[in-house]
Amino acid sequence: MKKTVAKKKTPAADLALMGLAEAVRAVAQGKVTSQALTEACLARIADWQPRVNAFLQIEAEAALKAAKAVDRARKRGAALGRLAGVPLAHKDMFYRAGKQSSCGSAIRRHWKATETATALQRLDAEGALDLGRLNMAEFAFNPTGHNVHYGHARNPWNTDRITGGSSSGSAAAVAARMVFGALGSDTGGSIRQPSHYCALVGMKPTWGRVSRANAMPLSYSLDTVGPMTRRVEDNALLMEILAGADPQDPTTSHEAVGQYVAAAKSGSVRGLKLAVPRRYFWDKLNKPSAECLEAALKTLSKLGVKIVEITPPDMEMITAAGMVMVSAETAALHAPWMRTRPHLYGDLARMRLENGLALSAVDYIDSQRWRGEAIAAFLKSMGDADAVFAPVADRPALGIKETDVADRPEAGKVVATLTRLNRPINYLGLPSLAVPAGFVRGQLPVGFQLIGRPFAEAMLYRFGGSYEAAQPIWQTAPT
């Protein structure tokens, strides 16, 4: 299948087209059954899975059984969780006891977890249904969504194009309305990049905001866990559930969890200030994307937001330091397998790991030592702004063939640049919310990212929710 054409549909025409929070309310009020929601999602999966390769495993029988249990509980008046009866799915790096978790790799193709990720436990506790494991880049270590072991995920808006990675299946599944939301991870853009390419809302939270316990590690100093959804309110709801300290992950913060849903629904950003860092972030932005983002800034300005331009610190240096950090930490994690079974890695993953193994201890220590200074410099550059507005990527989604390093080694130069606007934010440890801005040529999505101060996720949801109310991109679905 080639280009898909977007058109608007009324959510009532297909239960799977509803937003997550809307679906939760419908189940709680008895307007729709969890079984009906689940069957609608399974119908979407039957239609879309052959086209986009989002799932590695579909738990249809278990999900339907759980859905019927939710419906029975509601009928007898039992208390329901905040996600009761709504189908979600997870990137195949979140462990579930007794279940496979391949992490998108051949090495772990048959590996089964003995513990369940805290993120999954928190969703389970609120009654969410888990429809299965989602495709991902091998060991979450490439930005395109290519996977030589399980097949490439494809973008629902144009199946010849990449979803972005590494949360590729999460993006494809949510964008194609196969589930209402999904778990992703972001170490260098792996939530925000696919969200940008697939017209989704994706939160990369403050480092330490969400537990990483029993999720596959990539880079201890940079890894974050977050939700991917179609609407801002939906994302905020999942974040309220996911966020918070966890004794299983000592890096999690005891900072109070914000009222994210209330912020997303606040309806007003008048008087708030957004900073725009033209240097670095706009340097390589293509013309259609730039025009789309300028229109988004005009929308925010009409909502009463004051737009100010700022000069950020040396983002090239920040990006370089982050690359040293992720490369060294990932190489250290994979060193045993690289010694014993390097042939089981795909070419891109193996090449990146070899580069990491070549780094010195001095390089790594310098990247850690300079981090605090870089964070302080970036926050100082914000002045009194409430958040920063920036592009997520320089362009819309590229083609799968033109970014396939396995078939075209020269594509590596392009692939290496894809997350240049994301990586520095991971190094800084700051929260960043990707929000759909609109569409450009050929109905390709473009997004922007809202970057905040540490633990200021609520402020980002406030901006994102107000923009979405003015520009309801989510109402347009790929077909």
Which CATH number belongs to the domain containing residue 236 in this structure? Answer: 3.90.1300.10
Alpha carbons 357 and 331: distance in angstroms, whole number: 5
pLDDT tens per residue across span 424-435? 999 999 999 999
Segments forming the whole domain that contains residue 417: 7-477
pLDDT tens per residue across span 250-309? 999 999 999 999 999 998 999 999 999 999 999 999 999 999 999 999 999 999 999 999
> Is there a catalytic annotation at residue 91?
yes
Is residue 197 a part of any domain in this protein?
yes
The average confidence (pLDDT) of the chain is 96
Is residue 360 a part of any domain in this protein?
yes
**3-class secondary structure, 300:** helix
Is the pLDDT reported for residue 54 higher than 90?
yes
Give the range among 4-18, 47-61, 291-305, 460-474 with minimum mean pLDDT: 4-18
Which one, of 38, 47, 31, lies nearest residue 16 by Cα?
38
Alpha carbons 370 and 99: distance in angstroms, whole number: 40
DSSP 426-440: HHHT--EEEEEEEEE
| Residue 13, pLDDT score | 43
> Is there a catalytic annotation at residue 105?
no
Alpha carbons 259 and 210: distance in angstroms, whole number: 15
Give the number of domains in the chain: 1
Is residue 381 a part of any domain in this protein?
yes
CB 271 within 8 A of CB 384: no
Is residue 1 a part of any domain in this protein?
no
Is residue 2 a part of any domain in this protein?
no
pLDDT tens per residue across span 180-233? 999 999 999 999 999 999 999 999 999 999 999 999 999 999 999 999 999 999
What does the H/E/C string look like for 166-199? CCHHHHHHHHCCCCCEEEEEECCCCCHHHHHHHC
> Is there a catalytic annotation at residue 195?
no
Is residue 395 a part of any domain in this protein?
yes
Contacts from 299-303 at CB under 8 Å and sequence distance 24+?
299/467, 299/470, 299/471, 300/269, 300/274, 300/389, 300/463, 300/466, 300/467, 302/470, 303/269, 303/270, 303/466, 303/467, 303/470
Catalytic residue among 190, 289, 327, 466: 190
Give the range among 38-42, 122-126, 407-411 with minimum mean pLDDT: 407-411
Catalytic residue among 166, 219, 221, 327: 166
Mean pLDDT of 133-146: 97
| Residue 292, pLDDT score | 98
